[in-house]
A and B are shown apart, each in its own frame.
Chain A
Amino acid sequence: SFRCFSALTPELKTTLDKVVTSNKVVLFMKGTKEFPQCGFSNTVVQILNSLNVPFETINILENEILRQGLKEYSNWPTFPQLYIEGEFFGGCDITVDAYNSGQLQEQLEKAMCS
């Protein structure tokens, strides 16, 4: 199969490179951390809150270009999308799994201390 157009322009890619490294933990989600608008996004917010880690949230519902571009940038089709130290960590299921196994705490500790 082939792609006729890409939502991820070079300009958007440069912007996203900056956004994901603007904070050690960045969560692209539906809604905001104060007002999540989807259960999956809410789950990740609650996990990050419970771990007491500072994080930035970006509401993808407010920007359709960002939303489409991010799917290509992350090579991940759904939201939420969690970034730690500029690197894609996973969606809701992966975050929950990593939280339960203690891997998320480990990764966040490493990020905070670096």
Chain B
Amino acid sequence: MGVTKEDVESSLTSVMNPSHLEVIDTSGGCGASFAIEIVSEQFEGKRLLERHRMVNAALQEELKQIHALSIKKALTPEQWKQQQEAENSQPAA
């Protein structure tokens, strides 16, 4: 059985304790493929490369079967709040 969106979510939740997590299944029928947005306090003081390494490490088992993984956002809660506020302050379309 392949890797499901739920598998990815549960591994990331248990290791990274995220305050926001979105896992999007992007497989177009060519195997497990996911895009991830994750917000965690554990990213505090870490460069982007280190943050991605942490996500990769959390998904060590799943990555053996995942065809493609895209980490769209790896933010601290503070950065996430700032981004949300910036988006919300945009005039509504």
Interface positions of A (Cβ within 8 A of B): 40, 75-78, 88-94, 97-98
Contacts and interface: CB of A to CB of B under 8 A. Distances in A.
Interface string B36-61: 00000000000011001100100010
B72 interface: yes
A93 B52 contact: yes
Nearest to A71: B63
Most chain A CB neighbours (cut-off 10 Å) among B48, B60, B63: B48
B72 A93 contact: yes
B52 A77 contact: no
A90 B48 CA distance: 9
Given A76-B56, A78-B63, A94 B49 contact: yes
B49 A90 contact: yes
Contacts of A40: 68, 70
Describe A's contact surface by its main secondary structure: mixed
Give chain B's interface residue range (CB within 8 Å of chain A).
Answer: 10 to 19
B71 A77 contact: no
A40 B69 CA distance: 10
Nearest to B64: A77
Q: Which 4 A-B pairs have the closest CB atoms?
A: A77-B63, A93-B71, A77-B56, A90-B49
Nearest to B52: A94
A70 to B, nearest CB: 14
Contacts of A78: 56, 63, 68-69
